[in-house]
Amino acid sequence: MANVVKTSIAILLWMVWLLPAGAALGIMPPTDPDPRQVENLRRTMTLLNTSTPEHRNTVRILFYGQSITLQDWWLQVAQSIRDNYPSANLIIVNRAINGHTVDLLLRDALSDVYPFQPDLIIFQAYGPEEAHEQFQQNLHLRTCADVMWQNDHYASWDGEPGEPQPASTLTPTNVNWHSFVFMPNAAARYGDCLVDVRTPWEAYLRTNNLSRNDLLQDQIHPNADGRQLMANIIRPYLAPREGFVSPDPYNSQGVHTYRVGDQINWLNGALAVPFIGSRVDVILGPGQSIPLTAEIDGQQPSALTNNWVFTRTTTFGGYGFPSLLRVDSAAKLQAEHWELTVTASLGSDGFAFALHGSLTGDDGVGTNTMIFRSNSGRVVLHPEDWSLQLPAPGFKVSWDVVSLGTDTVYATPPADGQVESVITVAQNLSDDFHLLLLKATGPGTPAIRAVRVYSPAERYAATYRGPVVEFTFGRGAVPQLQWPAWLPGWQPEQRSSMDPAVEWTPLLGDPTLVQQKMALEVFGEAPISLYRLRFVGGVEGL
């Protein structure tokens, strides 16, 4: 069985501590966030700042990460947002998971993050930098969310805080590399708001002549004072501030709203909306209560494979670990409850199981050590996705299949005109051209005010800054490529023509670390060569 809880950090993060906040903190150093970082929250801040009692913008906020994100500092931050923006219609949830480093959260996010479609995600986790790189890519290619990415506070293994070192002098082996070199550069490339926890944390320790352990209750988890400090550092990033009233959060950078009677119109009881995006919503408004049938590219949304999702599986043990990181499928899904029952133990790290669907019925037997494909094809399980350990026969794991859209839009005038009434027709579509067709089932004008479309790819193209590979000459005038050492999982490639039919090929050889850059000699290549960097460190499908 794949042991997915495999790092020492993950083991330490098993326990979550939710003690009440402690006494008042000592002297607080300045915690004002960098305005350039807050600027990367412009859409969220505009939604919050422009909410009024007459028009309460809905803002979906997701806290995600590991056990540190489950500690009660997040409740303080959430309450602060509610207090500061009483007119906003806030939906704030925490789906962090104990012990799950970012390489595991990559799989968990398929059920936890993307179906939720947050406007803002507040995230912190440990784990390999290649996995962080892919997680950021996934967030921005599957959602239009603003991202607040927290760097790490001081843990026991970080040593006592000393004089701050310039980031330009750090190397990948330095304990500050991840927080002060990798993360700032990655956040800048992806347009994230980097929440610098580490700098004020260190300043607080030094100002108050404290040891790193004075803010910890074990090797890594903040104690009551540490949790209070964490909340104090993060809250200012979301405090009300002037200037965040534009651009239009409903018509900019991947989010577009088409108003009935303006950009789109009814014709013979049908509303046709061509769009580019991965999610399409209907906004209800004045009109008559008339049900409508919905089609995407000539198909009902329920017929679209990507419009279905598996929920998080039930847990095992006392720490809230999902029994499976993800559930996959190779066939058309339907709304259904699934139950897996352990039938036998197979030694120290294996077990057999039987699968049953509430509609499909008995759907096959398998083991956790091999790829399992159910008889119907509706469930596919991979060995690396099991976190369930040593279950006794009879132990059950369950999950559901739910739709991300609807075949029928019940267009009813909203009772509350202050908050938008939104019906998602489809999401998780391929992010390209589609045609939405709504057909009224009776006479009259249906109560639809607008159609809103989300295109993460458009937003990504507007905010992402790709990495640069440099061609230069090293010692002895040997030509070489150089690229930043904070690009984990990126592979240099070469081709000898501008012709798109000519394939890119990986450059062989082991690059060397030169200060904060990787260098690879390229002598002997074709006289005319093109070079690029391509991310190859991820896992297909995640």
Q: What CATH number does residue 416 fall under? A: 2.60.120.260
CB 537 within 8 A of CB 133: yes
Please indicate, yes or no, if residue 246 is contained in any of the structural domains. Answer: no
- Residue numbers of the domain that contains 146: 8-238
Residue 526: pLDDT band with limits 50, 70, 90 = low
Phi, psi of 343 (to 5 degrees): -105, -25
Same domain, 444 and 351: no
Same domain, 383 and 509: no
Q: In the sheet that 505-506 helps form, which strands lie side by side, from edge to edge?
A: 505-506, 490-495, 530-535
Same domain, 362 and 450: no
Same domain, 524 and 492: yes
Instruction: Flag the least confident range among 159-173, 211-225, 447-461.
Output: 159-173
pLDDT value at residue 9:
39
CB 86 within 8 A of CB 112: no
Domain boundary among 403, 422, 437: 403
Same domain, 334 and 374: yes
Amino acid 301 reads P
Same domain, 322 and 453: no
Q: At which residue do the structure tokens 């077990």 appear? A: 351
Please tell me the distance from the alpha carbon of residue 265 to that of residue 282, in angstroms, as a whole number: 14
Summarize pLDDT for 466-494 with one digit per residue, the tens: 888 888 887 777 888 999 999 999 999 98
pLDDT value at residue 527:
56
Q: What CATH number does residue 47 fall under? A: 3.40.50.1110
Please indicate, yes or no, if residue 3 is contained in any of the structural domains. Answer: no
Please tell me the distance from the alpha carbon of residue 63 to that of residue 78, in angstroms, as a whole number: 9
CB 211 within 8 A of CB 154: no
Amino acid 248 reads D
Residue 21: pLDDT band with limits 50, 70, 90 = very low
Please indicate, yes or no, if residue 122 is contained in any of the structural domains. Answer: yes
Same domain, 437 and 522: no
* Run of H or E including 110: helix 102-112
Same domain, 205 and 153: yes
Same domain, 314 and 295: no
Instruction: Compute the C-alpha angle 380/109/237, nearest 5°.
Output: 180
Whether the pLDDT of residue 4 is over 60: the answer is: no
Peptide bond into 164 cis (omega under 30): no
pLDDT higher for 508 or 453?
453
3-state secondary structure of 216: strand
3-state secondary structure of 45: helix
- Token representation of residue 217: 């209750």
Specify the number of domains making up the chain: 4
Classify residue 162 as exposed, middle or buried by CB count within 10 Å of its CB (0-12, 13-18, 19+): exposed
- For the stretch 102-106, contacts whose Cβ atoms lie closer than 8 Å and that sit 24 or more positions apart, written own/partner, are 102/126, 102/127, 102/128, 102/131, 102/132, 102/135, 103/127, 103/128, 103/131, 104/4, 104/10, 104/325, 104/387, 105/64, 105/65, 105/66, 105/135, 106/131, 106/134, 106/135, 106/138, 106/539, 106/542
Please tell me the distance from the alpha carbon of residue 462 to that of residue 445, in angstroms, as a whole number: 37
| Entry pTM | 0.93
CB 17 within 8 A of CB 221: yes
Phi, psi of 432 (to 5 degrees): -150, -155
Please tell me the distance from the alpha carbon of residue 14 to that of residue 97, in angstroms, as a whole number: 9
Q: At which residue do the structure tokens 């074990």 appear? A: 218
Summarize pLDDT for 282-299 with one digit per residue, the tens: 999 999 999 999 999 999
* Nearest one of 162, 133, 178 to 9, comparing CA atoms: 178
Strands 408-411 and 290-296: antiparallel
Same domain, 199 and 270: no
Please tell me the distance from the alpha carbon of residue 483 to that of residue 377, in angstroms, as a whole number: 44
Going by the DSSP 8-state scheme, the letter that residue 288 receives in this structure is B
Please tell me the distance from the alpha carbon of residue 333 to that of residue 373, in angstroms, as a whole number: 14
* Nearest one of 490, 49, 4 to 243, comparing CA atoms: 49
Cα 184 from chain centroid? 18
Residues forming beta bridges with residue 279, ordered by sequence position: 454
Average pLDDT over residues 368-389: 97
pLDDT value at residue 248:
94
Same domain, 160 and 260: no
Same domain, 95 and 227: yes
How many other CB atoms are found less than 10 A from the CB of residue 423? 18
Domain boundary among 417, 443, 461: 461
Query: Please, what's the largest Cα pairwise distance for the chain?
Result: 81
Residue 128: pLDDT band with limits 50, 70, 90 = very high
Residues forming beta bridges with residue 495, ordered by sequence position: 530
pLDDT value at residue 25:
81
pLDDT value at residue 24:
55
Please indicate, yes or no, if residue 89 is contained in any of the structural domains. Answer: yes
Going by the DSSP 8-state scheme, the letter that residue 420 receives in this structure is -
Most confident of 26-30, 166-170, 256-260, 473-477: 256-260
Please indicate, yes or no, if residue 541 is contained in any of the structural domains. Answer: no
CB 351 within 8 A of CB 147: no
Summarize pLDDT for 318-349 with one digit per residue, the tens: 888 999 999 999 999 999 999 999 999 998 88
Please indicate, yes or no, if residue 247 is contained in any of the structural domains. Answer: no
Average pLDDT over residues 50-75: 97
Phi, psi of 185 (to 5 degrees): -70, -40
Please indicate, yes or no, if residue 250 is contained in any of the structural domains. Answer: no
Q: Tell me the HSE value of 23 on the side-chain side, using a 13 A CA sphere.
A: 2
Please indicate, yes or no, if residue 244 is contained in any of the structural domains. Answer: no
CB-based contacts of 541: which residues, under 8 Å, 6+ apart?
Answer: none
Domain boundary among 384, 403, 422: 403
Residue 382: pLDDT band with limits 50, 70, 90 = very high
* Exposure b/e, 278-301, CB count within 10 A at least 16 = b: bbbbbbbbebeebebebbbeeebb
Classify residue 113 as exposed, middle or buried by CB count within 10 Å of its CB (0-12, 13-18, 19+): buried
